[in-house]
Copies of this chain bind each other. A is one copy, B any other.
Amino acid sequence: MQEQIVEKMMSEVMAQLMQKQEESKAAPAEQPEAKACRMPEFVGTAIGDTMGLVIANVDSALLEAMNIDKRYRSIGIFGGRTGAGPQVMAADDAVKDTNTEIISIELPRDTKGGAGHGSLIIFGADDVSDARRAVEVALNNLEEKFGDVYGNPAGHLEFQYTARASFALNKAFGAPIGKAFGLIVGAPAVIGVMLADVALKAADVEVLGYASPAKGTSYSNEVILQICGDSGAVRQAILTARDVGIPLLESLGGPAPSSATPYI
């Protein structure tokens, strides 16, 4: 019953919000953002309670505690409460565009009571301006990567596609560098199993990985399929899964709109 209550709360409160929002459009500038912005380490924030920071000279004891072999002088820090795939995709763009490396990608069980992951991604660089640039690119590109994340109170679906995977996707999902890569996520996991089957039947793609609640996830309620292959085939597999996934998720929790603007 608990989830039905939460669902009802959600829609009830949302209805009231509509009204309120009309009334109070012009909120005053926030003080804390301003205060944080004055820190040289602060880069910015984005969708999914995501934040980007940069450290020019990382403390050597911290590097040791983090168990990082290579001694980077500067690191970029990028991650949020909601979303792993979108942040990894945005970080992938960032390593393509900058002189940085991916040090680590960790996926907490989060999404603030949702069914999925949050994220913590660390970039390494010899120069702080490179690290900062990587975090800026990731922050700027993040909203786009939420374009094919669809959600409602019952769960979420996520689809990611790139014609040319780079180091972040390689680190997180074993994607071959420079090849087309696709990610298909269904939550609750029951939907994800079906999307995996649909995707693999839709086109001639190769399975890179299959993660489920007990294996490969941080106990999230997701099934995650990672695929590679010919770019057209990968895209076809994803689009077919999306067509099947949305009505399934909507049958469980009502309308499941995109979190931003679909890009695939």
Contacts and interface: CB of A to CB of B under 8 A. Distances in A.
Contact of A221 (B32, B108, B248, B260): B108
A5 to B, nearest CB: 7
Given A115-B108, A122-B193, A190-B53, A81 B221 contact: yes
Classify chain A's interface size. Answer: 35 or more
A118 B115 contact: yes
Most B CB atoms within 10 A — which of A193, A200, A223?
A: A193
Nearest to A193: B77
A31 B250 CA distance: 9
A59 B200 contact: yes
B259 A113 contact: no
Interface stretch (A33-41, A92-100, A159-167, A173-181): A33-41
A255 interface: yes
A110 B62 contact: no
A9 B21 CA distance: 12
Contacts of A154: 49, 81
A18 B41 CA distance: 37
Nearest to A41: B194
A71 interface: no
Given A14-B5, A49-B253, A190-B80, A219 B109 contact: yes
6 contacts: A3-B111, A8-B13, A51-B251, A59-B197, A106-B213, A120-B213
Given A9-B13, A32-B250, A55-B193, 11 more contacts: A1-B146, A3-B81, A6-B112, A8-B17, A9-B9, A30-B254, A31-B250, A39-B247, A51-B248, A53-B193, A110-B115
- Nearest 4 CB-CB pairings of A with B: A32-B250, A113-B113, A108-B213, A36-B251
Interface of A: 1-6, 8-10, 12-14, 16-17, 20, 30-33, 35-37, 39, 41-42, 45, 47-53, 55, 58-59, 61-62, 64-67, 75, 77-82, 106-115, 118, 120, 122, 146, 151, 154-156, 188-191, 193-194, 196-197, 200-201, 207, 209-210, 212-215, 217-223, 225, 244, 246-248, 250-255, 259-260
